[in-house]
């Protein structure tokens, strides 16, 4: 089952320079352990909005992808999960907004929202290197100051398009428009 997360901001004491936010899985939802959660291409989606090119505007939201794990690592930031548990997030981002060619909101076949990132060749190379060197972890997707998803991956990611489960199609559309710099 793909994990669907709703998020709330952390207090300032728990935030490092990365400005991460805590996630909460809705009741009955379990975090995903499948590679497909982070590496689904939009071809597996039921509906998708047009790809939005990124605008270089001041109002555009920042986007970052961090490595994360359920186990502690030296120097990684602990992020409390609600109602219980903890996720440990590496403070340096693998991918940022500059590594994207475009962004798209979509829905999977069940109608759940997906945020689809289209990586540049350089962004894909960075993601491949990071996931090859760190197998079996999670990719924490942060838009602005909110962690929207942290799906697991089992093998190095080799796809130029990544689809993250973000709950509803409305959530996906808001995130896509924010990162693209479109009002």
In tens, the pLDDT along 136-171 reads 999 999 999 999 999 999 999 999 999 999 999 999
Output the six-digit token pair for 79: 């992020």
Are 122 and 101 in contact by the 8 Å Cβ rule? The answer is no
Domain boundaries, position 70: 6-26+35-180
Tell me, yes or no, whether 70 lies in a domain. Answer: yes
The three-state secondary structure class of 164 is: strand
The three-state secondary structure class of 23 is: strand
pLDDT bucket at 105, cuts 50 / 70 / 90: very high
pLDDT at 68: 98
Tell me, yes or no, whether 1 lies in a domain. Answer: no
Tell me, yes or no, whether 91 lies in a domain. Answer: yes
CATH number of the domain that 62 lies in? 3.30.1360.200
Residue 136 to residue 131: CA distance in whole angstroms = 8
Residue 174 to residue 148: CA distance in whole angstroms = 12
pTM: 0.73
Residue 42 has pLDDT above 70, yes or no: no
Tell me, yes or no, whether 117 lies in a domain. Answer: yes
Whole-Å CA distances, 157 to 41, 133, 168: 11, 11, 24
pLDDT at 121: 97
């Amino acid at each position: 089952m793909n994990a669907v997360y709703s998020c709330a901001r952390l207090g300032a004491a728990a935030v490092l320079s990365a400005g991460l936010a805590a996630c909460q899985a809705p009741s009955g939802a379990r975090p995903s352990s499948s590679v497909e959660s982070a590496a689904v291409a939009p071809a597996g989606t039921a509906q998708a909005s047009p790809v939005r090119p990124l605008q270089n505007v001041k109002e555009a939201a920042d986007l970052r992808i961090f490595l994360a794990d359920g186990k502690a690592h030296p120097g990684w930031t602990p992020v409390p999960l609600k109602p219980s548990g903890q996720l440990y997030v590496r403070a340096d981002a693998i991918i940022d907004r500059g590594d994207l060619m475009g962004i798209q909101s979509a829905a999977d076949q069940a109608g759940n929202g997906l945020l689809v990132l289209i990586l540049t060749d350089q962004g894909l190379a960075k993601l491949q290197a990071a996931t090859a060197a760190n197998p079996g972890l999670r990719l924490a997707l942060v838009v602005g100051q909110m962690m929207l998803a942290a799906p697991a991956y089992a093998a190095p990611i080799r796809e130029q398009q990544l689809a993250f489960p973000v709950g509803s199609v409305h959530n996906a559309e808001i995130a896509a428009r924010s990162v693209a710099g479109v009002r």
